[in-house]
Chains A and B, each alone.
Chain A
Amino acid sequence: MVSKKVKVVNEQGMHMRPAGELAKVVKAHPDCEVTLNANGKTVKAKAPMQIMSACIKCGNEVEIVCSGTDEQAVLDEIAAMFENGFGE
């Protein structure tokens, strides 16, 4: 299991589009479970609506936890998405 803390930089926080992009990447790695810890909640990252339910806003800190096949590579990929503000 590997984890990394990142900051949400895109202005609107984890709204539908970034949540959808994130879920898409997570679903592409079915053998690696990805969870997010934010705002005192833990959510699975494979479903956009669950990601949104954590109400993660711009400036919030998010801990990404990956466990399974290629966990480090998946973690790096997801952390980079957060850092790029999901291309927004």
Chain B
Amino acid sequence: MTTFTGKGVYGAVAIGKISVFKKRDAEVKRVRIDDIEREKQRLEHAKAASMEQLSEIYEKALKEVGETNAAIFEIHQMMLDDDDYNESIITMIESQKVNAEYAVAKTADNFAEMFSSMDDAYMKARAADIRDISNRIISNLSGERSEETAVNEKVIICASDLAPSETVSLDKEKVLAFVTAHGSSNSHTAILARNMNIPAVIGTGDDFLAAIKDGDAAIVDGFTGEVFIDPDEETRARLLKKQADDEKQKRLLQELKGKENITLDGTKVHIFANIGSVDHIGEVLLNDAGGIGLFRSEFLYLESSDYPTEEQQFEAYKKVLETMAGKKVIIRTLDIGADKKVDYFNLKREENPALGYRAIRICLTRPEIFKTQLRALYRASFYGNLGIMFPMITSVSELEKILAICAEVRAELKAESVEYSEDTELGIMIETPAAALISDQLAQMVDFFSVGTNDLTQYTLACDRQNPDIEPFIDTHHEAILTLIRMSAENAHKHGAWIGICGELAADTSLTETFLRMGIDELSVAPTFVLKVREAVRNTDLSKS
């Protein structure tokens, strides 16, 4: 197996055979001609044929990639009709008595050169367009039309580079993917590939074409920009799964985007997304999540070499809230410790870190760190719909301390006349059996609960989730866990709080109905699971028992 990497321009996976796209021989011979009029006539015929082809390509592009992207071929027609361009060709034929092919090729060189030397990326890129139309005239002059390669099965088209007209001329039904050794991801070809929904990888490098031949088995991963030639079984299996997952996701997106999260009998539930970095907000929106149910703030600490300042945190939180434009954003305060270590915290090595000095325990013993984060959060609350969530709660007294610190921070901000939102909701993670068992008391103190099923499972079943040997003993559907969740839901509702689930179990669609029957108000899952869960919700009927 050989692997090449370029830039993926459309995320999808293609598996199939390679077809190497052969360019027509671009070399044009200079021939002395005697009949200038005849040569000019040949040119006129070739130009008329080119014009006709371009308008056909334009019509095809219009249907396949839309008006904006098809416009390039209208522009090609304008170029073909350009006075300067045509004058240059005619003058060359007349004054140098050369064949039309040569005059066109030479003129193309001159114009391409002019564009290439311009100090503007857009203008530079026009050099390729000039060559594209000129090659078309030349092939019409010589009576060859090599670009419509006969392709009988769906193939992965590999080329040194593809001109926009070549890209669109290929029969979409027979192209699995494009791979080009050269070219940029901003080229028209890349843009066209993206709009044709065909996986494409651009710029795999100089060695690429030498390493492939027609009929080679290959896999193109448009997500990562990888191209596997003669893939091994493991790679094939992995990419087959990726392809199936992607296709399912895209189908769901088509069908379920914009639809409500509502059961057949009319029960509604929120489906939010879990993310751990500002960079992933795009995925939240793309997958149509109703909000962010768990924003892990650790990334701010993990990516930093020292304690992040209030200002740094404020900017990050503000950005998330503004981007989510009024949708709910629940940010969980610092959850360092256990499996997440940060050097500058100088945490001691522990025998049993999952049961150790972590999360809220650090915050309550080092309140200066906690207060910096809370100040940043409250200041950011002004810019959106914020909920603040505290992890690893086990007792009422912890929560009392936390709420007192929150009140202190609000009082400080008020004294400083700094704006914050009074509607900021406060909630806790239910991830210890203790919290679930005293949820009756805790629910009276907060606006919401969010069940962290990963830790809740580990602590309830006494199973270390880092230890692969005990995996057979981890039953995530264990009745004890479900009972704790049910108990928390009942207590939350009794005291007017809402309850969500943000652990991995929230995405387990075999439990969706169970959770909905418990009255769970929100399910927060990885962005790519949002629509899968929506589908499950929409297929659930709670009126049947």
Footprint of B on A, CB under 8 Å? 12-13, 15-17, 20, 23, 27, 46-50, 52-53, 55, 57
Contact = CB atoms under 8 A, between A and B. Distances in A.
A12 B75 CA distance: 15
A72 B260 CA distance: 60
Interface stretch (B49-57, B114-122, B215-223, B275-283): B114-122
A8 to B, nearest CB: 13
A17 B75 contact: yes
16 contacts: A15-B123, A16-B129, A17-B71, A20-B75, A20-B78, A23-B82, A27-B83, A46-B83, A47-B83, A47-B84, A48-B78, A49-B79, A49-B85, A50-B82, A55-B119, A55-B120
Label chain A's interface by main secondary structure.
Answer: helix
B83 A55 contact: no
Contact of B85 (A12, A17, A47): A47
B270 interface: no
A47 B82 contact: yes
A13 B75 CA distance: 16
Interface string B111-138: 1001100111011001001000000000
A16 B78 contact: yes
A53 B111 CA distance: 9
Contact of B123 (A23, A50, A55): A55
Nearest to B130: A49
A57 to B, nearest CB: 7
Interface string B410-447: 00000000000000000000000000000000000000
Contacts of B119: 55
Nearest to B114: A53
B9 to A, nearest CB: 21
Nearest to A19: B78
Interface of B: 71, 75, 78-79, 82-85, 111, 114-115, 118-120, 122-123, 126, 129
A76 B83 CA distance: 23
B543 to A, nearest CB: 55
B118 A48 contact: no
B73 to A, nearest CB: 11
Contacts of A57: 120
For the complex of A and B, the 6 pairs showing the least CB-CB separation, nearest first, are A20-B78, A47-B84, A47-B83, A16-B75, A49-B82, A50-B84
B67 to A, nearest CB: 12
A2 B458 CA distance: 84
Nearest to A12: B122
Given A17-B71, A17-B75, A20-B75, A48 B122 contact: no
A27 B123 CA distance: 23
Contact of B126 (A27, A46, A52): A52
A45 to B, nearest CB: 10
A15 B83 CA distance: 17
A53 B85 CA distance: 12
A42 to B, nearest CB: 14
A15 B111 contact: no
Nearest to A46: B83
A48 B71 contact: no
A55 B124 CA distance: 10
A59 to B, nearest CB: 13
Contacts of B78: 16, 20, 23, 48
A27 B81 CA distance: 11
Given A16-B126, A20-B78, A23-B78, A49 B120 contact: no
A55 B118 contact: yes
B116 to A, nearest CB: 12
A52 B123 contact: yes
A24 B114 CA distance: 22
Nearest to B86: A47
Nearest to A20: B78
Contacts of A49: 79, 82, 84-85, 111
A78 B386 CA distance: 53
A26 to B, nearest CB: 10
Contacts of B126: 16, 52
A20 B81 CA distance: 10
B421 to A, nearest CB: 37
Contacts of A12: 122
Nearest to B87: A47
A48 B114 contact: no
A17 B122 CA distance: 12
Contacts of A20: 75, 78
A52 B85 CA distance: 13
A40 to B, nearest CB: 13
Contacts of B123: 15, 52, 55
Contacts of B122: 12-13, 15
A47 B85 CA distance: 8
Given A15-B122, A48-B79, A49-B111, 20 more contacts: A12-B122, A13-B120, A16-B78, A16-B126, A16-B129, A17-B71, A17-B75, A23-B78, A23-B83, A27-B83, A46-B83, A47-B84, A48-B78, A49-B79, A49-B82, A49-B84, A52-B115, A52-B123, A53-B114, A55-B119
